[in-house]
Structure 1
Amino acid sequence: MPGTDTSYLRYVALGDSQTEGLGDGDDIGGLRGFADRLAEHLARHEPALQYANLAVRGRLAAQIHAEQLAPALALRPDLATVVAGVNDLLRPRFDADEVCTHLDAMFGALTAQGALVATITVPDLSRVCPIARPLIPRVTELNEGIRDTARRHGVIVAETALHPVAGDPRLWSHDRLHASPLGHRRIAAALAQALSLPGSDDTWTHPLPPQTLPTGVRAVGTELRWAAGFLGPWLLRRLRGRSSGDGRSAKRPLLHPVLDASLTAPDDRRPALDDRRPVTDG
């Protein structure tokens, strides 16, 4: 079990767009995301930390297993995060057992090699995106599978699904699928607390101040703009059999030191992650 005296030297993140950092920065200035933010937290207490991020947007659980597990094992992490399954539950044919089979293989291989593994549960997004209500049973089934699979392998679970604040629209980007910078910060904080890292606490579960949401014509306009800007293009990619991750590779495939810029720069700026010294072996 993690404790405040635990020091991690190699952190590897596996996953899809959330782990890659979509919603927190952009492809021009660079993506940050919860995994980068967690790496920064770790590096504050262990400056020798090396960090790799193998995540690629659009990947299904089977693809994450097939494409990212072997490279992750080759990096010999002592800490890994594995987040997968959201892209699967958005597909017409969703099989929670199949997703968890891939999670089981990844959890098992990483823990057998000596890594501590952490993951998260999926929040109910119906507050953010009302048309997601039909997906609630899928989310519930996936979360139950994540918990059961994690329990078998001693994997740490950050229970983001259990706290109402996870459904606050301010924690989500305009596309309603990826976390906003604030949302990524809270996911990182949830993982830090689950791992009992120094300086972590439960403030990530606290609600945000009340806000006034648009109603009437303004609310309808907001929904129409979202449908035209995000839902339509997403559906078009599905009909064409395409993915947002086509042709993309991991943004940080090798282990590198983390230079924590959050201590000297505004929180919404991308951290300075040092790519000058790759480390592929011990």
Structure 2
Amino acid sequence: MAAHIPLLRLFLLHLFFAALTVASGNPSPGGFDRGDVDAEAYSILTFHDYTPPPPPALPPPPAAPAATCAGDLRGDGNFDTRCVVTASVRLRGPGVYISGNGSLLLLDGVALTCERPGCVVSANLSGDIFFGHGVCVVAGWVSLSAANITLANDALINTTALAGDPPDKTSGIPTGTYGDGGGHGGRGASCYVKKGQAPDDSWGGDMYAWAELKTPNSYGSKGGSTSVEKDYGGGGGGVVWLFAEEIVMNGTILADGGDGGTKGGGGSGGSIYLKAATM
């Protein structure tokens, strides 16, 4: 046993001098040498610095045919210069996709409507988009990109209860005939309490798109019905995306879920996302 005491003393002396070295602020042999770099550069705040990611680009719209000013909107001009729409237009089919280097003007009182679930009104223009007083655009998906976008007083973009299908592998639609609510962005509500469960354990439609709440781009989901013969559930809200250098918003944007009334659950709201340098 006595033969091991010198080795133990050497080990303890090594620990003692190492502690003195650390206390003096000098790097220990074999440790991480910071050199002349300030210690704050290695703080936990630096290593865990977080920079929010940039907002996404304008999402690609669902499939829709390329539009012409005169043929589809019954306007004057074209999308590479200026298209002026003076009379209301009811769109058919899947909707329209507008593209060009010009501007789009919907004059006072014009209605551009496509009242079919998931119907698309999409415009990607280099010029301006102007909706005059009382203009009404109704569709399931409205995405507009331009240098400047203006919604004058009483102008309205409305996607209420006109949602298309939710993302793959999800539905958000409640099961059963309890008239539960849809589940876009969170679990749908339920007024029915299952036997043996507390009210907090009874839910409607399954949740989806929770991770995209900061940049939402999913349709809302339908509410449930109280009948197997007829679907009384309210439709989900649609999608509205506006991208521009400047957005002048004196009008209104709606993407609400439909009201199921007394015989159905309300649909969940859709998605609204606005991105502009100035608003």
TM-score tier (shorter): under 0.3
TM-score for the superposition, normalised by structure 1: 0.22
Q: Which structure's CA Rg is the greater one?
A: 2
More strand by share: 2
Q: Which has the higher contact order (CA 8 A, sep 6+)?
A: 1
More helix by share: 1
TM-score for the superposition, normalised by structure 2: 0.22
